[in-house]
Amino acid sequence: MADPVTLRRKNTLWSIDQNPVTIIITRKEKVETEGRFAENTSQVGPFTVRVFQANDRDVKTDTHLVGTRMIDAGWGLLADWQADLRAGPNVRDEFELPGLGVFVVKAVYPQRVLGQVAGYQAELEKVS
């Protein structure tokens, strides 16, 4: 019998394989350089993940001087234990899925078994 960590990782991969998409993340990070903050942009991936609609759909309108955008916070993502996903005040991960739109990673939750990461779940916002 497989150990619990290996079993959970296999189950996560199986779930991803039921509806997989490949994403490349554009990461914008604010880093302190010589007493000021600079924004670094890089690409991370590709990663094979599963993107899904969550039950608690929350669509809101965000209005600024430069325009209006719709934000749909009712999306989630499942990734394997090797994925590099980040969310926080100094980092913004986003990716685009053709036919669906642009998604921003709002929160990342490691799924642990016996102290080891078996996968990641993330909250997404679809921005249009």
pLDDT tens profile 53-90: 886 655 555 555 455 556 677 899 999 999 999 999 99
List for the chain the helix, strand, coil content (%; round to 5).
10, 65, 25
Residue 17 has pLDDT above 70, yes or no: yes
Sequence-distant (≥ 6) Cβ neighbours of residue 36 within 8 angstroms: none
Q: Kindly report whether the global pTM for this prediction surpasses the value 0.85.
A: no
Any idea where the domains of the chain sit in the sequence? 4-127
One DSSP character per residue, 75-104 reads EEEEEETT-----BTTEEEEEEETTTEEEE
The residue type at 24? I
Per the model's pLDDT, the better-predicted residue between 59 and 122 turns out to be: 122
